[in-house]
Amino acid sequence: MTDLPKTPSFSLQGKRILVTGASSGIGLACATALAEAGGNTVLAARRADKLADAVKAMTAKGWTASALQMDVADVQDMQDKVARHGPFDVLVNSAGLARHSPAVETTPDDFDAVMNVNLRGAYFVTQAVARGLLEAGKPGSLINMSSQMAHVGGIDRAVYCASKFAVEGFTKAMALEFGPKQIRVNTICPTFIRTPFTEATFENPERVEWIQQKIKLGRTGVVEDIMGAVLYLASDASALVTGTSLMVDGGWTAD
């Protein structure tokens, strides 16, 4: 009889997981997917009340979840908390910030605010979780929530694009560095996902028309579109995947 291969497991039982930006939107969706798959999921964000509500909803379903109030832009405090509560087998770095404007109107304050969260915060939280894994001698999966805008340009999005292009760069470099220790580093690149974070864009008819022309599947995204992608990268199903970008963009970047 043919010896059939065994499908890799998507279960996260026994895995300790950190999700930043987990109080709403894509971050909350990621935390939900990973907790439902059996992961011991720590939801991190600045808003303690939102985190408490999310954790209450998850534990009511019998999942394992806890809250950690944390600002990724406060690097020292963040790294202290990661060290204290880790090591984490999986990181989903979903904390993000956007301040859109024409490039000629970008202010230094807007530039610094976006970079402090999207790039500096993302870099150092990835570093902190990787350090914990290296010290423990454990493998792991580090996932940075990037964007399709890390691969293309966007109207009024010069600073945001710059931050996300940079995330792609350090993700690839860290994947090379940590690969021999079986620590995988990847990004997920969503298209426009309807969340409170993106509502201003959807209120602009010109931007909506631009978005609809670009997305080949003919619809914008919802947070559920990201949940399967993050489960794949977090689990053993993606054991040979590192240093790459998983596009969840409805075909935007295909042409």
Q: What are the residue numbers of the active site?
A: 160
Tokens representing residue 161 in the block: 């694009």
Number of neighbours of residue 140 by Cβ within 10 angstroms: 25
Query: How many CB atoms neighbour CB 232 within 10 A?
Result: 20
Contact 167, 146 (CB under 8 A): yes
- Determine the Cα–Cα distance for residues 108 and 81; give it in Å rounded to an integer: 29
Residues 131 and 174: their CA atoms lie apart, in Å, by 12
What is the Cα–Cα distance from 145 to 21, expressed in whole angstroms?
Answer: 10
- The angle subtended at Cα 57 by Cα 17 and Cα 73, nearest 5°, is 45
